[in-house]
Amino acid sequence: MTRYAIEPWELPSLPIAGSEERFPVRRIFCVGRNYAAHAREMGRDPDREPPFFFSKPGDAVVEDGSTVPFPSATENLHHEVELVVALKSGGRDIPESSALDHVYGYAVGVDLTRRDLQDEAKKLARPWDMSKGFDNSAPCGAIRPAGEIGHPSDARIVLKVNGEVRQAGNINAMIWNVPETIAYLSGLVELKAGDLIFTGTPEGVAKVDRGSRLEASVDGVGTMDVTLR
């Protein structure tokens, strides 16, 4: 048995809907600008340019029902509601045709973004890490196994802040669908069991204030309710 010099931490994990078991989270990959209307609101031409990715630490996940501190170092925190894919296996150069075989299940999540730090990073050609991969930046609902719900490709996705609808779209509007995303990403990194993929947000991203309650849903997949105190 490995002897560690300091006490090792528990794996980050998420609940699985209807189960006592939990899903261990390894890494969190996120797709940028994967809905045309969101690309446009961010001032970009939604051409089908190759997908691009950024990541968050695995322990940035926040589970359904939590209240977490409002993030530091931002005056412009944005919500981005997204379909989340949870992988049960991985590999390199996965073909689209078998990509869904690696999916354990799906959830709804929110890619919290320090938009002010991201705008500055874009302007100065600096990395996005501190605008995307901060503590508690990946609220995510319980995972629904694909064995129960199949592989959703046409479903309403909604985010409410304090009861008011802020984002409402359909996951069928993704520029790169889930198999294409898995195939492409597996050409950049070897995907592994436990990886989560946040698949991008529809339009309507906006500022969240201290004390806000975020309620997210994807029809047929699940819901998520997290408060930033």
Under the binding rule (CB under 5 A), the answer on residue 140 touching Mn ion is no
Give the CB-nearest residue to Mn ion.
111
Under the binding rule (CB under 5 A), the answer on residue 215 touching Mn ion is no
CB 159 within 8 A of CB 108: no
Interface map 188-207 toward Mn ion (x if CB under 5 A): -------------x------
Q: What's the Rg (C-alpha) of the chain?
A: 17
Tokens representing 222 are 């699940």
Cα distance between residue 128 and residue 122, in whole Å: 8
Pick the piece of the chain touching Mn ion (CB under 5 A) from 2-10, 71-79, 111-119, 212-220: 111-119
- Output 103 or 159, the one with its CB closest to Mn ion: 159
Cα distance between residue 31 and residue 48, in whole Å: 13
Single-letter residue type at 40: R
- Output 102 or 132, the one with its CB closest to Mn ion: 132
CB of 82 to Mn ion, least distance (A): 6
CB of 204 to Mn ion, least distance (A): 12
Residue 129: helix, strand or coil by DSSP? helix
In our burial notation (b when 16+ CB lie closer than 10 A, e otherwise), range 65-88 reads eeebeebeebeebbbbbbbbbbbe
Interface map 50-69 toward Mn ion (x if CB under 5 A): --------------------
Under the binding rule (CB under 5 A), the answer on residue 80 touching Mn ion is yes
Q: List interacting residues with Mn ion (CB under 5 A).
A: 80, 111, 201
